[in-house]
A = this chain, B = another copy of it.
Amino acid sequence: MSASITTLQQLLFDLAGVLPADTAPLFTMTRQVKLAANETYIHEGDTERRLAFIEQGIMRAHIIKDNGDEATLFLRWEKQFIASHDTIIHRQPSRFIYRALEPTTLLEIDYDVLEEVLKTHPEYEPLRNFFLMRMLSESLKIMESFVTLSPEERYRNLLTERFDLVNRVPDKYIASMLGITPVSLSRIRKRMLDKGK
């Protein structure tokens, strides 16, 4: 039994009072996926509607801009959900690429399969709600940081809230996620050092 299943069973119990023994219809439909560092999980143009819970590792979602450069939309790590949002929300081929930054283990389910399971087992519905709310919450928080903070403040924020993450991820992805260039992030770091932190 994977550790993620235990975690999610506990979550399902907390959210909806569903006993672990009664979760078989859901978890028999999930698969464990192991990705090597830099392995792509979802390619540009993929149409599978994938939803996954990260057991171990870090995932990055990025898009190829018109000029050919990459832009990182977000990073996700242990105990978080990732979902190919273009395919799930809009039924469009994914414009985003989802790639593992470290050796990563996911517990995945196809969203269409999840919907089928939910039809016959509505008692799992709170779980869908939970991950939708969590993703929404995270997105709103990022939006908020873009309208209220300067790039330097956003970086300081990330350092205090996700220090572990910043140390596990190349700076260029951090910069992109903050909406700036790697050169600019390097200057921000220098300025912070110069001003005695």
Residues B85 and A148 in contact, CB atoms below 8 Å apart: no
Interface residues on A, range: 20 to 34
Q: Which residues of B contact A147 (CB under 8 A)?
A: 71-73, 176-177, 179
Q: Which residues of B contact A133 (CB under 8 A)?
A: 89, 132
**Beta-carbon nearest neighbor of A178 in chain B:** B147
Interchain nearest-CB distance for A40 vs B (Å): 19
Indicate if A8 sits at the interface (CB-CB under 8 A). no
Indicate if A152 sits at the interface (CB-CB under 8 A). no
Indicate if A135 sits at the interface (CB-CB under 8 A). yes
Indicate if A15 sits at the interface (CB-CB under 8 A). no
Q: Which residues of B contact A74 (CB under 8 A)?
A: 143
Q: Which residues of B contact A129 (CB under 8 A)?
A: 128-129, 132
Indicate if A142 sits at the interface (CB-CB under 8 A). yes
Docked Cα-Cα span, A133 to B63, in Å, equals: 21
A 130-157 to B, binary, CB cutoff 8 A, 1 in contact else 0: 0011011101101110111000000000
Q: Which residues of B contact A68 (CB under 8 A)?
A: none
Docked Cα-Cα span, A128 to B85, in Å, equals: 18
Q: Which residues of B contact A146 (CB under 8 A)?
A: 142-143, 146, 179
Q: Which residues of B contact A176 (CB under 8 A)?
A: 147
Interchain nearest-CB distance for A103 vs B (Å): 26
**Beta-carbon nearest neighbor of A74 in chain B:** B143
Indicate if A90 sits at the interface (CB-CB under 8 A). yes
* CB within 8 Å of B: which A69-90 residues: 71-74, 85, 89-90
Residues A137 and B85 in contact, CB atoms below 8 Å apart: yes
Docked Cα-Cα span, A142 to B144, in Å, equals: 11
- From known contacts A122-B122, A125-B125, A146-B146, infer whether A136 and B85 are also in contact, taking CB-CB under 8 Å: yes
